[in-house]
Amino acid sequence: MSIFPVSLSKEKELKEKMDALNIREEDIQESFVRSSGKGGQKVNKTSTCVYLKHIPTGIEVKCMEERSQPLNRYRARVILIKKIDQMIRGRESEERQRIEKIRRQKRKRSKRAKEKMLAEKKIRAEKKKLRVHRFDYNE
């Protein structure tokens, strides 16, 4: 039986990423805190929030996304791995690449690119105007 309530493939993937970054379970200090927010009495009575600290790097992660503690333990480790990966690899990390891609997508278009896009739109609109829609109800 697996440690976390996720599929074995996800757990295996987590273990492989931890091995690739030389993160050992012994280097992770784990504690549980009471969550806040939605969940009502369940959240107020149980310690579902997971707090992880990677001792060699000093990186700390707190996860209270889910109502179940085991799932938060898994998610906290995923977040910790992303942070350590970003610290080690810097610009080459997957998270950094994802953020850069979003930044490029949201960037304002250059004047030339905007003019080109508007010209293409105008051509498309002209083609649509040439289409004739006839509805003959007598047939």
User: Which domains does the chain show, CATH number per domain?
Assistant: 1-133 (3.30.160.20)
Which stretches of the chain drop beneath a pLDDT of 50?
Answer: none
HEC profile for the chain?
A: CCCCCCCHHHHHHHHHHHHHCCCCHHHEEEEEECCCCCCCHHHHHCCCEEEEEECCCCEEEEECCCCCHHHHHHHHHHHHHHHHHHHHHHHHCHHHHHHHHHHHHHCCCCHHHHHHHHHHHHHHHHHHHHCCCCCCCCC
**pLDDT for residue 86:** 84
**pLDDT for residue 13:** 93
**pLDDT for residue 135:** 67
**pLDDT for residue 53:** 96
**pLDDT for residue 103:** 92
**pLDDT for residue 137:** 65
**pLDDT for residue 94:** 79
pTM value is: 0.67
Return d(Cα 115, Cα 109) in angstroms, integer: 10
**pLDDT for residue 3:** 79
